């Protein structure tokens, strides 16, 4: 399949859903987790364990300041902007993402399902009061651990290892996977559940599957077409063909 044929396919499909992973954000300067320069080359994998967060919130928030706060200032790249344009033209129904960086929303997408939560949202673990990233940042300017007025620990609304995915987001993602007629995967190696399960569900319900990812993925054999390319260059080509 050529890029031109893919654009035609998107335009002639009725319900297109896009699934994105860390690979779509690397060109925005966000390190992925497992690549040679990824987060895990600098920090131990347990920084995202819920047990670590609960036992050493101060340590977690030090990591947060160094690694996650800069992520919140990243800007969308051409691949994010392409998906925003596709939504504006009613060519895609939704973006399902494994990313917590909020870049799809920054690019302008309205329908975004965040499977792993967002670094922009927080809440108190005792009274559930919601907090924004800005509020947490402010508290951390004068304290080492963000605490609520009720003295509860404030946590990010992200899915730590050892926690289950938000049921509502997962249900919604499953519904989109079952009902779409074309699923496009961008920048995910499709090795982690449930992201890896969604294209399988889509395929089982008769949808086409396109994978755009630099390097192999766990589901290349299942795809109708695979583009092994840099995502933002690929997006630039598609944008011109739209």
Q: Which residues contact 111 (CB under 8 A, 6 or more apart)?
A: 87, 93, 94, 95
Residues numbered 99-138 forming contacts with Zn ion, rule: CB under 5 A: 124, 126-127, 129
Place of tokens 């699934």: 19
Across the beta sheet with 130-132, the strand order is 130-132, 117-124, 154-158
Three-class DSSP category at 95:
strand
Dihedrals φ, ψ of 118, to 5°? -145, 140
Closest alpha carbon to 100 in 196, 21, 47: 21
Closest approach, Cβ 77 to Zn ion, in A, equals: 37
Which range of residues in 57-65, 145-153, 172-180, 196-204 is near Zn ion by CB under 5 A? 145-153
Q: Which is nearer to Zn ion, 124 or 207 (CB)?
A: 124
Is 116 part of the annotated catalytic residue set?
A: yes
Closest approach, Cβ 151 to Zn ion, in A, equals: 7
Residues numbered 151-180 forming contacts with Zn ion, rule: CB under 5 A: 152
The token pair at 40 is 């895990």
Tell me which of 80, 104, 116, 168 is the catalytic residue: 116
Which range of residues in 9-17, 22-30, 42-50, 140-148 is near Zn ion by CB under 5 A? 140-148
Q: Kindly list the residues in this chain that would bind Zn ion in the complex (CB under 5 A).
A: 124, 126-127, 129, 148, 150, 152
Residues with a catalytic annotation lie at 116
């Amino acid at each position: 399949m050529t890029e031109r044929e893919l654009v035609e396919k998107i335009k002639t499909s009725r319900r297109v859903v896009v699934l994105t992973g860390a690979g779509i954000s690397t060109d925005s300067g966000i390190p992925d987790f497992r690549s040679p320069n990824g987060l895990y080359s600098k920090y131990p994998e347990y920084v995202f364990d819920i047990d670590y967060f609960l036992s050493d919130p101060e340590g977690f928030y030090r990591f947060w300041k160094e690694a996650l706060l800069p992520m919140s200032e990243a800007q969308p790249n051409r691949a994010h902007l392409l998906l925003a344009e596709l939504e504006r033209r009613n060519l895609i129904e939704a973006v399902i993402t494994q990313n917590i960086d909020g870049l799809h929303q920054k690019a302008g997408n309205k329908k975004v399902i965040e499977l792993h939560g967002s670094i922009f949202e927080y809440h108190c673990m005792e009274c559930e009061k919601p907090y924004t990233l800005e509020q947490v940042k402010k508290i951390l300017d004068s304290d080492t651990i963000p605490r609520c007025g009720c003295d509860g620990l404030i946590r990010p609304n992200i899915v730590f290892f050892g926690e289950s995915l938000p049921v509502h987001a997962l249900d919604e993602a499953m519904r989109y996977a079952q009902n779409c007629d074309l699923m496009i995967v961008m920048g995910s190696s499709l090795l982690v559940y449930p992201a890896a399960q969604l294209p399988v569900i889509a395929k089982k319900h008769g949808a086409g599957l396109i994978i755009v990812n630099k390097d192999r993925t766990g589901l290349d054999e299942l795809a109708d077409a695979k583009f092994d390319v840099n995502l933002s260059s690929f997006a630039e080509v598609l944008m011109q063909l739209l």
